[in-house]
Amino acid sequence: MSIPANLKYTKDHEWVSIEGDVATVGITHFAQKELGDIVYVEVETLDQTLSKDEVFGTVEAVKTVSDLFLPLTGEIIAFNEDLESAPETVNSDPYGDGWMIKIKIADASEIDTLLSDQAYKELIGA
């Protein structure tokens, strides 16, 4: 199972890539595998500022719908619009083209609360 070492993770199975004060967020390989075939990604919080752990959207698979939780407080500045026509990209490339949102980070100290790749591996038993 792919768990890139250069990313940070949450207990809710989101991954976070940080470049300066912008974080790119998606769901992990583990999460997409557990969900199954993803048929829809909904994010209605674009241009809103939300707090860490608030729901920023949902991901719908054939059998279930799951909330997506914001890993860091900040403003949602981008949504991967390619997912509207090709939500299955989350299954095929969760750490690349399957990214979901970009956040302008409001509180950089929260980055320290995210999990390392090793801590995430322990969480999922990998």
Q: What is the pLDDT of residues 30-73, one digit of tens each?
A: 999 999 999 999 999 999 999 999 999 999 999 899 999 999 99
Instruction: Report pLDDT for 20.
Output: 96
Answer whether residue 1 shows pLDDT above 90.
no
pLDDT at 91: 96
- pLDDT score of 5 more than 90: yes
Residue 70 C-alpha from the chain's centroid: 8
Enter the pTM of the model: 0.95
Q: How far is residue 96 CA from its own chain's centroid?
A: 11
Classify 19 as helix, strand or coil: strand
In 3-state terms, the chain is what percent helix, strand and coil (to 5)?
25, 35, 40
